């Protein structure tokens, strides 16, 4: 069973990714760490707990991480995710103190003890802090899957940059560098593939038919996000980036990509841009696997069959769901 740590900034699409991970029996989730991104890390930790309560997995520990990027002022994304980070659903808080151990301490202690993969769904601040202190521990991470960056697709918070890497570009740069030094590859689940994953009102209604309770939860947290997409992109539906990173971790055949050396720009108008050397100008050993294609219908089937339950409590089987062309 792969051991994983989920590093995230919930965040509406992070919440959906946590639902998927929590419902995946083949994952051993050692802990969830939060980082300031969509919302401050402490609010994100409370949101993670709300999602774990919904998923019936309140035992998974949540550690609060870095409150600000490594070197620059913090800019949240509450315009996209709401004042509470969960689409202004204002779900009741889960009572109880958080562990005194910080996210970075938890990551260090865990990786000293055992190997664990990391699925990163927010800015890479926690991981960069860890690797600045303990670069040796990257060898204890079998897979580092990061939702962030973009190759051919345009940015989502500047013409060229995706939010997670734009928010803390030094952290993103450091993580790609540390992977290069260790001869490893960061698996980059960027906007080229996540933009294909759209939650439409039709899909939402379909979810409610199959599992009214989970469907109602997803509707509650995504309404704000749907409105945001209509206002800014004139699309009916919302792009849900983060669950694809979890689905790809579990089922790599859902995406395709190529190996390349990648660097991150940290300054000026290109801040946060991933510079992917797809033509091998630099003749450097690849430090990344860049995803470029995904099977959106296959993802939806995988996602829905994992998170939705029948009235008897068992999960829907993938083959019991609608035709692939309808799901895509």
Q: What is the DSSP string of 199-245?
A: E-HHHHHHHHHH-HHHHHHHHHHHHHHHHHHHHHH--SSEE--HHHH
Question: 152, exposed or middle or buried, with CB in 10 Å at 0-12, 13-18, 19+?
Answer: exposed
- Residues in 236-265 at the binding interface with ligand BDR, rule: CB under 6 A: 241-242
**Residue among 7 and 174 whose Cβ is closer to ligand BDR:** 7
Q: How far is the CB of 246 from ligand BDR (least distance, A)?
A: 11
- Residues in 125-184 at the binding interface with ligand BDR, rule: CB under 6 A: 147, 156, 162-164
First-to-final CA distance of the chain: 30
- Residues in 179-238 at the binding interface with ligand BDR, rule: CB under 6 A: none
Q: How far is the CB of 320 from ligand BDR (least distance, A)?
A: 30
Three-state DSSP at 246 gives helix
Among 18, 121, 179, 218, binds Ca ion (CB under 5 A): 121
β-pairing, 3-8 vs 117-120, is: parallel
- What CA–CA distance (Å, rounded) separates 323 from 286? 38
Q: Are 13 and 199 in contact (CB under 8 A)?
A: no
Backbone dihedral angles phi then psi of residue 299, each to the nearest 5 degrees: -60, -50
Query: Going by C-beta distance under 8 Å and a sequence separation of 6 or more, which residues neighbour residue 67?
Result: 36, 40, 41, 42, 74
β-pairing, 28-34 vs 3-8, is: parallel
- Residues in 23-62 at the binding interface with ligand BDR, rule: CB under 6 A: 38
Give the residue at shortest CB distance from ligand BDR.
163
- Residues in 258-317 at the binding interface with ligand BDR, rule: CB under 6 A: none
11 binds Ca ion (CB under 5 A): yes
Q: How far is the CB of 70 from ligand BDR (least distance, A)?
A: 17
Residues near ligand BDR (CB under 6 A), total: 15
Among 13, 66, 168, 187, binds ligand BDR (CB under 6 A): 13
Binding footprint of ligand BDR on the chain (CB under 6 A): 11, 13-14, 38, 77, 80, 121-122, 147, 156, 162-164, 241-242
Residues that bind Ca ion (CB under 5 A): 9, 11, 14, 121-122, 242
């Amino acid at each position: 069973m792969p051991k994983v740590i989920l590093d995230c900034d919930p965040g509406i699409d992070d919440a959906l990714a946590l639902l998927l991970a929590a419902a995946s029996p083949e994952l051993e989730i050692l802990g969830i760490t939060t980082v300031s991104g969509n919302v401050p890390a402490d609010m994100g930790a409370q949101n993670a707990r709300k999602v774990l309560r919904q998923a019936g997995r309140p035992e998974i520990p949540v550690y609060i991480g870095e409150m600000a990027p490594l070197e620059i002022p913090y800019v949240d994304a509450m315009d996209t995710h709401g004042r509470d980070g969960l689409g202004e659903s204002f779900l009741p808080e889960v009572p109880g103190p958080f562990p005194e151990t910080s996210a970075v301490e938890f990551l260090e202690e865990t990786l000293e003890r055992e190997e664990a993969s990391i699925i990163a769904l927010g800015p890479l601040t926690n991981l960069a802090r860890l690797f600045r202190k303990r670069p040796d521990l990257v060898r204890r991470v079998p897979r580092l899957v990061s939702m962030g960056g973009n190759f051919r697709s345009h940015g989502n918070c500047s013409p060229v940059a995706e939010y997670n890497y734009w928010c803390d570009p030094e952290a993103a740069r450091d993580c790609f560098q540390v992977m290069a030094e260790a001869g490893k590859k960061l698996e980059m689940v960027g906007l080229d593939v996540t933009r294909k994953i759209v939650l439409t009102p039709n899909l939402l209604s379909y979810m409610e038919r199959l599992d009214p309770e989970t469907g109602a939860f997803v509707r509650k947290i995504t309404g704000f996000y749907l409105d945001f997409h209509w206002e800014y992109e004139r699309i009916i539906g919302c792009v849900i980036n983060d669950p694809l990173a979890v689905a790809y971790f579990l089922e790599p055949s859902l995406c395709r990509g190529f190996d390349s050396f990648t660097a991150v720009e940290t300054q000026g108008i290109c801040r946060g841009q991933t510079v992917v050397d797809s033509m091998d100008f630099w003749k450097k050993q690849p430090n990344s696997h860049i995803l470029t294609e995904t099977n959106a219908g296959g993802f939806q089937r995988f996602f829905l069959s994992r998170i939705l339950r029948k009235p008897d409590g068992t999960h829907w089987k993938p083959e019991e769901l609608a035709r692939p062309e309808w799901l895509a």
